[in-house]
Amino acid sequence: MNKKLFTYLAILLVMFIISAYGSLFYPHSAVRPNGPSLEPPSRDHILGTDDLGTDIFAQISKGFFTSLFVGVATAFLAMFLGGSLGLMGGYLGGKTDLFISFLINLFLSLPQLPVIIVAGAFLGQSIINVIFIIALFSWAGIAKVVRAKTRQIRENTYLQLARSYGAGFFYLFKKHLFADIFPLLLINSLAVVGKAILQEASLAFLGLSDPLARSWGLIINKAMNFSAIYYTNYWLWWLLPPVFSLVVTLYCLRLLTREIENIVYRSEL
């Protein structure tokens, strides 16, 4: 197995295990206050408590799963939307393709963060809405790549031959298109996982994501809004851990994506 790939996966796995311990076996709740407020780290509270007395380690553990859920769910939605639209545009051609290309260009030229903020403001701030909105604004990149690839494959002689024998779209898709498009779809969707996590964290940092879902962005937001944060040492265990977790997760996902991309392209050569 690839050594680099293994390292990144191992780091993510370690984070997963720590977070699983924090949300399943750790004695403190991530939502209810469970101790005196603003405790420094101790044996009882590994990373201390926040201003309401909620355990910070429990919150960060829960935040990992929130981030993971947001990232993976968004990537799946974007993969489905971008994949099917890209396939449709590339395969059908003509007016459909023109329309889909226009949609792709439209969504690619929108300024992402402001659009997501505005859509979130009007649709309401539940975590499901946030996922749908981020997915709605990240499918275009996937669709663009899939469309180009489909167009390119469509002209292959073996596909034309199969079509002339009367093969339908689903047969062609299952037998020929899928194997060529899937690696591309996978790489681009993996890239969406990290972007979605970052966008949710940005929204939560602004206080515009789901106020009930414990996410890293929300912890950062609360810590930054605590007025004495600059004059005390609280930031060491209240602010740095979520920032650090976010950076490490984003790095791992990015490097993982790049490594898989390398492997796929190497196998294609």
Partner 1 sequence: MITSNWNKTASHMWKNSKRRTKRYVVFLCTFLTIYLFNFFLPRLMPGDPFSHNAAYSGQDMQGLSAEDLERLRAYYGLDKPLLVQLLNTIKANLKLDLGQSILYKKSVAEVIKARLPWTLYIMLSTLIFSLLLGLILALSALENGKRDSLIYKSMSLLAEIPSFLLGIILLFFVAAKVDWLPLAGNLTPFYRHGSVVEYVLDVLRHSLLPICALTLNLTPQFYFTARTSLLNIRTKDYVLNAQAKGLNQKIIRYKYIMLNALPPIVARFFLSVGTCIGGTMLIENVFNYPGLGMVLRDAVMYRDYILIQGVFLLSATVVLCASLFSDIINNYLQKD
By CB under 8 A, name the one of 52, 106, 128, 179 that touches partner 1. 106
* Candidate list 12, 18, 72, 119; residue touching partner 1; CB under 8 A: 119
**Position 99 contacts partner 1 (CB under 8 A):** no
Neighbouring-strand partners of residue 187: none
| Closest to partner 1 by CB, 13 or 113 | 113
CA distance 85 to 164: 24
Is position 220 an interface residue for partner 1 (rule: CB under 8 A)?
A: yes
CA of 43: how far to CAs of 29, 47, 48, 85, in Å? Answer: 16, 9, 9, 53
Q: Indicate the residue among 18 and 208 with the shorter CB distance to partner 1.
A: 208
3-state SS, residue 55: strand
Q: Which residues pair with 49 in a beta bridge?
A: 55
Site stretch for partner 1 (CB under 8 A), options 61-69, 71-79, 172-180, 239-247: 239-247
Quick check: 192 binds partner 1 (CB under 8 A)? Answer: no
111 binding partner 1? (CB under 8 A)? yes
Nearest distance in Å: CB 199, partner 1: 9
Residue 212 binds to partner 1 (criterion: CB under 8 A): no
* Residue of 83, 76, 72, 196 lying closest to 134 (CA atoms): 196
Quick one: tokens of 260? 């898989």
DSSP run (H or E) holding 238 = helix 234-238
DSSP of 69-84: HHHHHHHHHHHHHHHH
Among 38, 81, 243, 264, binds partner 1 (CB under 8 A): 243
Provide the binding-site residues for partner 1, judged by CB under 8 A.
Answer: 102, 105-106, 109-115, 117-123, 198, 201-202, 205-208, 220, 224, 230, 235, 239-240, 243, 246-247, 250-251, 254
